[in-house]
Copies of this chain bind each other. A is one copy, B any other.
Amino acid sequence: MGAELEEAKEIIDQHLNEENEKVDLTPYDLAQHLKTLKKHDEDLYNEYLEKLDPESLGDVAIELPDHMLKDVIETIPSEKIVEALEELESDDATDLLQYIEDIDEEKAKELFDGLDKEDQDEILRLRSYDENEAGAYMQTELFSANLNEKLSTAVERLREQKELGELENVSQLFITDERHILKFAIPLEDLILFDFNSSLKDIIEKSEEDKYKPHVAMDNDPIEEVVEVVQDYDMNSIAVVDTRGVLLGRITTDDIHDFIQERATEQIYNLANVGDADEEENSLLNATRSRGIWLFVNLFTAIISSSIIGLFDDAIASYVALAVLMPIVASMGGNTGTQALTVTVRRLALGEIEFKNAKPALIRELGIAFINGLIFAVLIGLVAAFWFNRPMLGVVIGTAMLTNFFFAGFFGTVIPLALKKFNIDPAVGSSVLLTTVTDVVGFFSFLGLAKWILL
């Protein structure tokens, strides 16, 4: 383990000494190496935290888990953290301040008070958005110009902003009128071809009509819709405007990437009854509690299913084969239902189906469930008939299987659609609801038919 520590130390040293810091170590990597330091040598770790310049500090702090961000708050003087916040892009500064507030509200207030008025206003504005709104994902730093300016004036401003480190990741020039209403957006790959001495107005007038009409997001638009527009039009960034059309900021692809990735993780976790936020923190107890809550719900529904079995205890006592076979009916129903559920949840998320045009999707799922139900009804019927040497047992389990497949296909599709209709995330809790249905239907149809036909 000494080698691991040495390596981390060396890499961070290189980073600290290098002139151009950002070439080869991402903030995420730096955070990982600091984590290694902390594990092996707490003093050295604190020493390195203090060595970071404000720019690196801000970038790294966003990537740190809560317990290490707490170290930052406790070790580093507030003035330096304020400086780090000022170096960050507005959306990242807002996020970092939020993380700090989650740990130490007093400290966050102190840091906020230390920022200059302009940064404070920006952060207040960005914080006013709900986490599902496009505004919450935008940064206010962008490359813009007035329609009456010359292109060379705009380019000079870009130079200044870049030299001051105020602007990165530029892919288009946003052109506004006197009232700051966004009128046009010219990608840099076009901009570089124009005569820099022309006025922007001339450039626009000489271009094909509508060529530079921008795609925009409204600040209150759901972020999912914005991501769809960006994907459909293969854009590198999108302008965010308010209801009057005033340019407020832009959302860049790195944020879009992160959103797609995080949303997918959230869905995968929710389908398995795991909370994504609780898993991503380092706290074992939060993860345990969050999973435990869903296990508790599952315990409750499992007891309901079991009480169905309890209704038929006399049948089971007189013919134990029923107890042996009943989990198969439930398990197959659960599986086929989960297939339908997962496909429906994902297609909803990708915008491929919506509540109002869900009928073909439902028919499709019922079709699949019916065909597979028939096949597996025959299969399990044969297996059961030969296993226990009783043909009617095969008929009973086959019929129960087909019934359960049908319910599984139906509820696997309808549960997420109904949740979506009521604006509940269709991935959350749907699998528990579904398996309750498939267990109850599976046990009830199999044991009920058996009692009626066999006994």
A: residues with CB less than 8 A from B are 19-20, 23, 26, 28-29, 143, 155, 158-159, 162, 169-171, 188-193, 208-211, 213, 230-234, 236, 252-254, 256-258, 260-261, 264-265, 267-269, 271-274, 279, 284, 287-288, 291-292, 294-296, 298-299, 302-303, 305-307, 309-310, 313-314, 316-317, 320-321, 323-328, 330-332, 335-336, 338-339, 341-343, 345-346, 350, 364, 367-368, 371-372, 375-376, 379-380, 383, 435, 439, 443
In angstroms, Cα B189 to Cα A376, docked, is 61
In angstroms, Cα B287 to Cα A314, docked, is 41
Q: How far in angstroms is the closest Cβ of chain B from A211?
A: 6
Q: A23-B211, A155-B193, A191-B192 are in contact. List 20 more A-B contacts (CB 8 A).
A: A19-B209, A20-B211, A23-B213, A162-B189, A231-B261, A257-B257, A260-B260, A264-B265, A264-B267, A268-B345, A268-B346, A269-B346, A271-B342, A272-B339, A284-B367, A295-B332, A302-B327, A306-B328, A317-B320, A320-B323
B380 lies within 8 A of A299 (CB)? yes
A338 CB contacts on chain B under 8 angstroms: 272-273
In angstroms, Cα B215 to Cα A23, docked, is 9
B231 lies within 8 A of A257 (CB)? yes
In angstroms, Cα B168 to Cα A234, docked, is 10
- Residue on B with the closest CB to A256? B257
A371 CB contacts on chain B under 8 angstroms: 288, 292
Q: How far in angstroms is the closest Cβ of chain B from A397?
A: 11
Q: List 11 A-B contacts (CB under 8 A).
A: A169-B234, A192-B192, A234-B254, A264-B267, A267-B268, A295-B336, A302-B331, A309-B327, A316-B320, A323-B326, A327-B439
Q: How far in angstroms is the closest Cβ of chain B from A110?
A: 30
Please list the 10 inter-chain residue pairs (A to B) with the smallest Cβ-Cβ separation, ordered nearest first: A264-B264, A272-B342, A234-B254, A323-B323, A188-B188, A170-B189, A313-B320, A26-B232, A302-B328, A302-B331
Contact of A332 among B171, B299, B310, B345 (CB under 8 A): B299
Query: Copy number of this protein in the oligomer?
Result: 2
In angstroms, Cα B313 to Cα A287, docked, is 39
- Residue on B with the closest CB to A18? B210
A303 CB contacts on chain B under 8 angstroms: 328, 383
Q: Interface SS of chain A: helix, strand, loop or mixed?
A: helix
B328 lies within 8 A of A327 (CB)? no
A273 CB contacts on chain B under 8 angstroms: 335, 338-339
In angstroms, Cα B299 to Cα A272, docked, is 21
A325 lies within 8 A of B306 (CB)? yes
Q: How far in angstroms is the closest Cβ of chain B from A64?
A: 15
B331 lies within 8 A of A298 (CB)? yes
A336 lies within 8 A of B188 (CB)? no
A324 lies within 8 A of B332 (CB)? no
